[in-house]
Every structure is written in C-alpha cells, then in structure tokens.
Amino acid sequence: MEPIRLLLADDQALVRAGFAMMLSVEEEIEVVGEVANGQEAVDFAAAHPVDIILMDVQMPVLDGIRATEQIVGAGRAKVIILTTFERDDYLFDAIRAGASGFLLKNADPDDLVDAVHAVAGGHALLAPEVTVRVIERFARHLDAEQQPSSIPVPQAAAVQQPDPEQQKLLASLTAREREVLELVATGLSNAEIASRMFVAEATVKTHVSNLLGKIQVRDRVQAVVFAYESGLILAGDTGRGAAD
C-alpha cells in the first residue's frame, strides 16, 4: 500500500518538528512537507499530491480556517485541525470549512497516528476530550445565529428553523438510521452506539454509512452539523434514542 502523504502546517517550527518526529517512524505515513502558514499550505497542496494536512488555526498570511476552506473545496486533501482549544469558536468555522477532524496539540503520539489513519480511511473525528463540548457549543452557536440579536437565547430551548430540503433528507432515513444519527450527533463512538442499541458494531457502521449517503454528507463531523441544523438535535441534548 502507498503511504499516507502528510503535510504539516504550523507557524511554530518546534511544533512542526515535534509532529514530524512522532510521525516519521510510522512506515505507513510519509511527511511530504512542512509549511509555516495557510497560504503555503494551499500552494503546496496545489503543487504536490497530499492526502492529509495537519493544520494549525492561527497562522500568518492566511489562517488555517480559510486555508482549509480552499483546500477542501478544491478536493486536494483532507484536513485535521490542530488546536490548543483555547478558542472554541474556531472549530465551528473549521467544521463549516470542511475539516475532517480535530485534535489537541498535546495529543499522545498513538492518538495522532490513529487520527491520521482514521481520516485517511474516510472517517472523521473529534478529539475524545472535547467531543461533547464542541457539539454543545456548536449547537448553541447555531441557535444564537437563528435568533434576533436583541433576544436572549436560552441554552437548551432556542427555536430552530430547519431547512425544508434538510427535512426531506431527514425523512429519507429509516427509524434505525435516525436513531443512529441522533447518537452520532451527541458524540458517541460506533462502539458506544452499538452498546446502547444492543447490536454489533459492524451493524452500526453499516447504518452510519447508509445515513451519510442519504443526508448527503461526507463524514461524521458533517453529520453532526446536519443533525443540529435540521433540528433533529437541539442544544442541551445529551444522547437520545431507544436506550434512554
């Protein structure tokens, strides 16, 4: 098998060197380049084959969010956002820009390698430490956007206005697929969903694959966005479904 071609994008040379050191020992991963800002990442991805980019957010010239938007929009590579998680709002923009995953900069080497393999394999991920926090913050962020600025938005009771097209896509799901989507949207892994639904993990994977196609999203992160924007999940929900 061809190695996963990886680009490191971070304005701190020591951070790039650290990640390069951790990843260079992996036979299935090849670090093909290092860049110091988002524009360099865009240019590199346009000129060289790249599978995955580990992308910092705060960089000069062009930030990681705008760079992600351009790279993913052109179909040049998948992006994993690196964050210290001091600014949650960056992640909302990164989701919309098309990032496939989010990882803390202090992640263990094994977690970093697993993340690269997961995204290269077509999956999406949020760092386990921040999954629920991201989802709940993202939900409240969406709710706030949909309310007049002069009206306070209750944390768990904002009224959403789902898009009619999203409602059609949502209606195309079977009851089981809808249940799986709800649990995915509340941050549960396939194994956790399987445990709650009393089914095999392989069955959950099949449901996830089917529902992603039906709601026309590419990965789990986008499925989370869809679940909130369609009104399936509201801010403050912490995991609904038959197991509750």
- Which tens digits make up the pLDDT trace of 103-139? 878 878 888 888 898 888 777 666 555 555 555 665 5
Residue 241 lies in a domain: no
Task: Verify that 55 and 150 share a domain, yes or no.
Answer: no
Task: Verify that 66 and 115 share a domain, yes or no.
Answer: yes
What confidence score (pLDDT) does residue 86 get?
Answer: 54
Q: Is the pLDDT of residue 162 over 70?
A: no
- CATH (domain of 118): 3.40.50.2300
Residue 83 lies in a domain: yes
Q: Is the pLDDT of residue 200 over 80?
A: yes
Mean per-residue pLDDT of the chain? 80
Task: Verify that 113 and 144 share a domain, yes or no.
Answer: no
Contact 38, 77 (CB under 8 A): no
pLDDT band at 227 (very low <50, low <70, confident <90, very high): confident
Site of tokens 């007049």: 148
Task: Verify that 8 and 125 share a domain, yes or no.
Answer: yes
Token representation of residue 149: 């600025």
Task: Verify that 173 and 89 share a domain, yes or no.
Answer: no
Task: Verify that 122 and 41 share a domain, yes or no.
Answer: yes
Residue 43 lies in a domain: yes
pLDDT band at 242 (very low <50, low <70, confident <90, very high): very low
Residue 240 lies in a domain: no
Domain final residue pick, 129, 153, 175: 129
Residue 242 lies in a domain: no
Task: Verify that 81 and 138 share a domain, yes or no.
Answer: no
Q: What's the gap between Cα 20 and its chain centre? A: 22
Split into its structural domains, the chain has a count of 2
What confidence score (pLDDT) does residue 176 get?
Answer: 95
Token representation of residue 179: 């249940």
**CA gap 173, 22 in Å, rounded:** 41
Q: What strands lie across the sheet with 125-126, from one edge to the other? A: 29-35, 4-9, 52-56, 78-83, 101-104, 125-126
Instruction: Give pLDDT tens digits for 28-59.
Output: 999 999 999 999 999 999 999 999 999 999 89
Task: Verify that 141 and 103 share a domain, yes or no.
Answer: no
Task: Verify that 152 and 123 share a domain, yes or no.
Answer: no
Task: Verify that 94 and 188 share a domain, yes or no.
Answer: no
What confidence score (pLDDT) does residue 54 get?
Answer: 96
Task: Verify that 151 and 219 share a domain, yes or no.
Answer: yes
Residue 243 lies in a domain: no
Partner residues linked to 8 by β-bridges:
34, 54
Task: Verify that 125 and 138 share a domain, yes or no.
Answer: no
Share of the chain above pLDDT 90, in %: 42
Residue 50 lies in a domain: yes
Residue 65 lies in domain: 4-129
Quote the DSSP letter at residue 240.
-
Within 10 A of 162 (CB to CB), how many other CB atoms are there? 14
Domain final residue pick, 129, 158, 193: 129
- Which of 88-102, 179-193, 200-214 has maximum average pLDDT? 200-214
Domain final residue pick, 129, 160, 191: 129
What confidence score (pLDDT) does residue 138 get?
Answer: 59
Q: Between these two residues, 207 and 135, which has the higher pLDDT value? A: 207
